[in-house]
Amino acid sequence: MNNKLLINFNLSEIAEGAVQAKFAKEVEKVCKNILDLNTDATKKRKITISLTYIPNDQRNSVDVVVETKSTLAPQVGTSTTMLLDRDLNTGYMAANELKSKIPGQTYIDIEDGKPKTDIGEPVDEVESKKETKKNSEDKKNIIDLQKNKA
């Protein structure tokens, strides 16, 4: 008896090319993940094609379920420092990202070349606010002696 098998089951052609399309979609995901600068460049990626065969009782027909899955490199972690404070006059809480890496230290912003506070506010604006506040407080404390003449 001759045990030759005639198997005409080409992966790129079965299910009217759906398996090939699923594989191409997973390859696209892997390529995008490799090009993503937020992932580790050297981590391995993997594509799995799973074929599940479900025969009928007579063993003359088999349903084939094809699944594709990709294993991608995870996003690399990013950390920063957040400064927390409370305005004692108003009671409002404030939270800002520490941009200078050292609390209270100014730095030069590489995007615009201007000095900024540790939370990224332009020093000029902060100084201007302080001057405006100081001037308004000074005006409140000025006593007009001309008005008090009787």
Please identify which residue in the block is written with the tokens 């001309």.
146
Round to whole Å and give the CA distance between 13 and 9.
8
Q: What are the residue ranges spanned by the domains of the chain?
A: 14-71, 82-137
Mean pLDDT (whole number) for 1-23: 85
Round to whole Å and give the CA distance between 120 and 129.
15
| Predicted pLDDT at 114 | 85
| Predicted pLDDT at 47 | 97
35-61, pLDDT tens digit by residue? 999 999 999 999 999 999 999 999 999
Exposed / middle / buried, residue 66 (Cβ in 10 Å: 0-12, 13-18, 19+):
middle
| Predicted pLDDT at 26 | 97
What pTM did the predictor assign?
A: 0.55
Q: Which of 107, 27, 115 is nearest to 69 (CA)?
A: 27
Checking if the pLDDT of 115 tops 90, the result is no
The two tokens of residue 133 are 């506040």
Q: Which of 53, 54, 64 is nearest to 19 (CA)?
A: 64
| Predicted pLDDT at 11 | 87
